[in-house]
């Protein structure tokens, strides 16, 4: 826990604003250092907020420094990405030739995906290749060799800046998945003539680097944010109060719910599922679903609140996802910025619901090969063959079935890539593929379901219960991928954990009332927090908006007193260790 008396104020500020690079943990939203950093930024910002260009330059500098504190000289990579995409955007806007414009968009895609692929997936693909070669060679009884990966960027940087400037192990620059997607969407939107390029470089650099959402999102679209960059600063009492509500709400979600659940219950169960009856693993995964929602939505609540204090509006990223009545409904409510990005820049270009192209077939072929490559489950060949037969029969017997084939292919491609975006691991790919298959099944099931359109509370309860438990089930792969970075758990063991947990649930569920009461007694605080968290989540949105509206109407001194009391009690929940935000790894 932060000790606010551990440094004199001046010494602490010197530490925060020094150019000493750490792991970035001191500037996360739950730490005192961040709030001192933000307070000083706001003091300076208050003198500059009506001068638009100066404001953009200042916030770019602040954001670049913020990124530097987390990733060191990999800030140069961020700078290169911004510069290249800024000039590609201007170039593509000036060109009249369709072919030339397509070349520029191709260059942009290759450049951005190369950055993302190299720094995020290089080790993953190399390890998968080495595992595959080992498997094949063992099967044929031959010698095997492996490929080692060298960070050529680091070697070049060390030659230019001096030895040991860059670590020669490939590190993942914080937020690379988010700022890469923002750069791609900017150039694509100009190509589609939906927006015009930003005239001033610093307005564009501010859009990409804006520090509240730089490292963990939400993914900001140029057409939504850039028009705000040149608008006069405006913040009234209602906006200020609403922003404070979002920040406080986010801190409660992260500290009181997410961190408490993972430290005091989830991690004690999921990494050693064989030590507990199977029903305890189910409780742990329910807790994990609440944890990951509270963790990620807590971050975005704070980011949205901070942005509003500076006069900028970010779109909502979550909409009560556990109220979803289907998998499709869930993905309309969860991580909305990523879902809309994948829809607009991947799913629809592939053909969406209506059509497909040769690209869809090529992509699905390589995805099938890719799944074989990373999992080495050769039984998948039988699955692929069976699905091929089913679709061929459908094409021969059902009118317009080709449209459904295209939709299904496009959807699977999108969800697998969405899973891979979350992390360089076969577990994330499996998780994405499972959700893609569930979406396909739902699209067919809803045509024959007898309760799909029912508004009866029993039908609604069943649909919410089924959706929540399916989503929770798939997160076994999502959560247990974290074991790869847990102390004492090897990659090989981490890959076995999903199977162990499922086996324990299936073969050793062992639910008894006495055992259940004992678990409740041992983890009493955990289950009270879970109960409160789910109840608040499932409250009607009208009630939540009413509470927010009533708070904004209170006198300022009452608001300040209320926030001070809440924050005081929130920080009593902080333990000796503070888990990082889950999406920091993406």
- Looking up tokens 């961020």 gives 78
Listed residue (242, 214, 180) closest to 300, CA to CA: 214
| pLDDT tens profile 357-401 | 676 777 777 777 777 776 667 777 777 788 778 778 877 787 777
Alpha-carbon distance of 327 to 190, in angstroms, equals 33
Residue-level pLDDT at 178: 87
Based on the residue annotation, tell me whether 422 is a catalytic residue of this protein: yes
Residue-level pLDDT at 384: 76
Residue-level pLDDT at 253: 94
What percent helix, strand, coil does the chain show, rounded to 5?
75, 0, 25
Residue-level pLDDT at 397: 81
- DSSP assignment of 383-420, as one string? HHHHHHHHHHHHHHHSTTHHHHHHHHHHHHHHHHHHHH
Q: How many CB atoms lie within 10 A of CB 507?
A: 9
Residue-level pLDDT at 63: 92
Residue-level pLDDT at 427: 78
Selected catalytic residue, list 144, 422, 456, 537: 422
Q: What is the 3-state secondary structure (H, E, C) of 48-78?
A: HCCCHHHHHHHHHHHHHHHHHHHHHHHHHHH
pLDDT under 50 in the chain at which residues?
A: 1-7, 137-141, 143-144, 161, 165-168, 487
Residue-level pLDDT at 59: 94
Answer for the pair 45, 60: CB distance below 8 angstroms, yes or no.
no
Residue-level pLDDT at 1: 46
- DSSP assignment of 205-218, as one string? HHHHH-HHHHTT-P
**End-to-end CA, the chain:** 25
Answer for the pair 364, 415: CB distance below 8 angstroms, yes or no.
no
Q: What residues does each domain of the chain span?
A: 57-229, 234-323+509-586, 324-507
Residue-level pLDDT at 336: 92
Alpha-carbon distance of 557 to 476, in angstroms, equals 46
The token pair that represents 518 in the structure block: 């004992």
């Amino acid at each position: 826990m932060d000790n606010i008396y551990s440094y004199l104020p001046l010494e602490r500020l010197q530490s925060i604003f020094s150019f000493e690079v750490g792991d970035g943990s001191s500037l996360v939203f739950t730490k005192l250092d961040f709030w001192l950093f933000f307070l000083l930024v706001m003091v300076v910002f208050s003198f500059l907020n009506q001068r638009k260009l100066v404001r953009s330059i200042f916030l770019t500098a602040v954001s670049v420094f913020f990124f530097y504190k987390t990733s060191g000289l990999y800030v140069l990579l961020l700078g290169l990405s911004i510069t290249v995409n800024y000039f590609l955007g201007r170039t593509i806007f000036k060109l009249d030739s369709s072919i030339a414009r397509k070349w520029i968009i191709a260059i942009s895609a290759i450049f951005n995906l190369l950055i993302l692929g190299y720094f995020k997936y290089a080790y993953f693909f190399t390890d998968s290749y080495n595992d595959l070669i080992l498997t094949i060679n063992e099967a044929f009884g031959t010698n095997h060799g492996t490929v080692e990966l060298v960070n050529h960027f680091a070697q070049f940087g060390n030659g230019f800046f001096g030895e040991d400037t860059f670590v020669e192990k490939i590190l993942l620059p914080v937020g690379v998945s988010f700022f890469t997607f923002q750069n791609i969407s900017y150039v694509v939107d100009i190509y589609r003539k939906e927006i015009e390029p930003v005239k001033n470089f610093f307005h564009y650099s501010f859009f990409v680097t804006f520090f509240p959402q730089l490292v963990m999102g939400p993914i900001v679209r140029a057409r939504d944010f850039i028009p705000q960059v040149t608008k006069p600063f405006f913040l009234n009492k209602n906006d200020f109060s609403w922003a404070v509500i979002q920040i406080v709400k986010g801190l409660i979600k992260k500290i009181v719910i997410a961190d408490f659940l993972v430290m005091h219950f989830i991690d004690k169960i999921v990494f050693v599922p064989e030590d507990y009856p199977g029903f305890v693993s189910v409780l742990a995964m329910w807790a994990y679903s609440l944890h990951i929602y509270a963790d990620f939505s807590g971050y975005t609540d704070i980011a949205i609140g901070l942005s509003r204090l500076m006069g900028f509006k970010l779109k909502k990223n979550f909409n009560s996802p556990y109220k979803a009545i289907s998998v499709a409904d869930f993905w309309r409510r969860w991580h909305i910025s990523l879902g809309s990005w994948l829809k607009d820049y991947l799913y629809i270009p592939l053909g969406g619901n209506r059509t497909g192209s040769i690209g869809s077939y090529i992509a699905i072929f390589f995805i099938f090969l890719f799944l074989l490559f990373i999992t080495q489950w050769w039984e998948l060949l039988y699955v692929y063959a069976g699905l091929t037969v089913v679709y061929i029969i459908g094409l021969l017997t059902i009118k317009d079935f080709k449209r459904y084939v295209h939709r299904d292919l496009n959807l699977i491609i999108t969800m697998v890539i969405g899973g891979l975006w979350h992390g360089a691991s076969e577990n994330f790919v499996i998780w994405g593929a499972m959700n893609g298959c569930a979406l396909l099944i739902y699209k067919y099931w809803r045509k024959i379901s007898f309760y799909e359109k029912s508004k009866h509370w029993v039908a609604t309860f069943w649909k919410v219960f089924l959706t929540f438990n399916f989503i929770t089930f798939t997160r076994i792969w999502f959560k247990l991928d974290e074991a790869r970075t847990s102390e004492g758990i090897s990659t090989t063991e981490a890959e076995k954990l999903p199977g162990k947990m499922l086996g324990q649930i299936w073969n050793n569920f062992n639910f008894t009332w006495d055992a259940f009461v004992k678990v409740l007694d041992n983890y009493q605080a955990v289950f009270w927090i879970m109960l409160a968290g789910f109840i608040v989540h499932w409250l009607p949105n009208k009630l939540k908006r009413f509470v927010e509206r009533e708070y904004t109407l209170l006198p300022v001194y009452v608001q300040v007193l209320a926030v001070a009391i809440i924050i005081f009690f929130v920080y009593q929940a902080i333990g000796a260790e503070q888990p990082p935000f889950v999406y920091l790894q993406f």
